[in-house]
Amino acid sequence: MANVVGEGAAGRSTRTLRAEGALTAIAVDPESPDRVRRILEQALVFAGAAFAAVYTVGADGELLCLAESAGVPRTLCGVRDSYPVAGHAPVAEAHRGRPVWLGPDDLAAQAQSRRVPSRDFFLAALPLRGDGG
């Protein structure tokens, strides 16, 4: 007879230790230039996502520019290098403080979906706040 309860608890304990280790690794060197990438990689793991990216406002204030990404090639998701701040792209909506959740049907209705090879995925664009607003 298998000890299912004991095996499940051991699995949870291992996952907890891995999560704690990952969070500790992120905090080790907060000034590291690759810290954002490490955080995105953790977001991929913990959210079960295929792609994660961070956009920042460009020097002219008119564009949101891709600062860092992790996961599958962004061309598979139809993600561009930049988007107009005043536009209606999910990243622009998130920049204005509104989280955006789009499913396959929502994505298919967008003009940019013609460039996306895979259409069976969900997209979330979430606002981030930090020193830059």
pTM > 0.75: no
The dihedral region occupied by 65, where left means phi > 0, alpha psi between -120 and 50, and beta the remainder, is beta
| Average pLDDT score over residue span 65-70 | 92
pLDDT for the residue numbered 57: 95
| Average pLDDT score over residue span 20-29 | 68
Mind listing the pLDDT tens digit for each residue in 84-113?
Answer: 999 999 999 999 999 998 888 887 777 566
